[in-house]
């Protein structure tokens, strides 16, 4: 904003320490974009990155009396952000685990899957392939792989034999193998043409 008087960071920090919401908003203006982009580069999720921004600034407000001076402000902000990003990242990696496991399994046959530099696209492809499965197979597959339920539990839950559950999962994996094999030829071509 053009009209607003520009305070030095030092002044803003000492204002914030005394509980000034005005200073809080100026600091938000100065750092929220950087914080957002930075979080996005690790978490790859807009909503989660917004959460980080909110969380970091809320902690900044709650701990405003502990702020010292300008030199430590940037690193203070970073420390809160780092801990937050780390927490989110680990949770995300846990949620993603079934996908990486499936892709890893598929890479036994197609080693290129593991080194393909566009992991994000592979994940999207995997999800859309799972989505295209027949409803029943999809349900069984997700219960087993995503939710980690045992074959026996799924069988009881769905009133089917454990054998059927196993068959469906084998079918699903074969389908993924086939589709990824197909895609990889065109996929690799794509990467060789457009990267470097």
Q: Which residue has the tokens 């071509």?
A: 189
Please tell me whether residue 116 adopts helix, strand or coil conformation. Answer: coil
Q: Does 41 bind other proteins (CB under 8 A)?
A: yes
CA distance 125 to 134: 17
Q: Which of 9, 70, 118, 171 binds other proteins (CB under 8 A)?
A: 118
Residue from 119, 138, 151, 160 touching other proteins (CB under 8 A): that is 119
Gap between the Cα atoms of 150 and 153, Å rounded:
5
Are 139 and 155 in contact by the 8 Å Cβ rule? The answer is no
Residue 156: CB minimum distance to other proteins, A: 33
Helix axes 70-107, 119-131, angle to 10 degrees: 50
190 touches other proteins (CB under 8 A): no
- Checking 160-167 for CB contacts under 8 A at 24+ apart, the result is 165/140
Q: Which residue has the tokens 């999207």?
A: 124
- Residue 27 contacts other proteins per CB under 8 A: no
Give whichever of 175 and 191 is closer to other proteins, judged by the CB atom: 191
Among 61, 98, 175, 190, binds other proteins (CB under 8 A): 61
- Per rule CB under 8 A, is residue 45 in the interface with other proteins? no
- Determine how many CB atoms are found less than 10 A away from the CB of residue 130: 19
Q: Identify the residue among 82, 98, 175, 190 touching other proteins (CB under 8 A).
A: 82
Closer CB to other proteins, 120 or 131, in the complex:
120
Q: Residue 129 Cβ, how far from other proteins at the closest point, in Å? A: 16
Tokens of 35: 């914080």
As a whole number of angstroms, the distance between CA 36 and CA 52 comes to: 7
> What is the contact surface with other proteins in residues (CB under 8 A)?
3-5, 15, 18-25, 28, 32-34, 36-38, 41-42, 44, 46, 50, 53-54, 57-58, 61-62, 74-75, 78-79, 81-82, 85-86, 89-90, 93, 100, 103-104, 107, 113-120, 122
């Amino acid at each position: 904003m053009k009209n607003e008087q520009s305070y030095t960071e030092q002044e803003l920090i000492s204002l914030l320490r005394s509980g000034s919401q005005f200073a809080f908003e100026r600091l938000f203006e100065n750092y929220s974009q950087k914080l957002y982009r930075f979080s996005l580069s690790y978490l790859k999720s807009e909503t989660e990155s917004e959460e980080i921004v909110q969380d970091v600034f809320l902690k900044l407000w709650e701990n405003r009396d502990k702020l010292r001076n300008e030199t430590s402000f940037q690193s203070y902000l970073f420390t809160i952000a780092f801990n937050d990003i780390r927490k989110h990242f680990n949770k995300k990696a846990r949620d993603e685990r079934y996908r990486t496991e499936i892709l890893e399994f598929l890479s036994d046959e197609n080693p290129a899957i593991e080194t393909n530099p566009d992991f994000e696209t592979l994940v999207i492809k995997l999800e859309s392939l799972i989505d295209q499965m027949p409803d029943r197979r999809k349900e069984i597959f997700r219960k087993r792989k995503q939710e980690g339920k045992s074959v026996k539990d799924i069988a009881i839950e769905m009133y089917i034999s454990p054998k059927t559950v196993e068959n469906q999962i084998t079918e699903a994996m074969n389908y993924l193998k086939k589709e990824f094999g197909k895609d990889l030829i065109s996929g690799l071509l794509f990467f060789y043409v457009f990267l470097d």
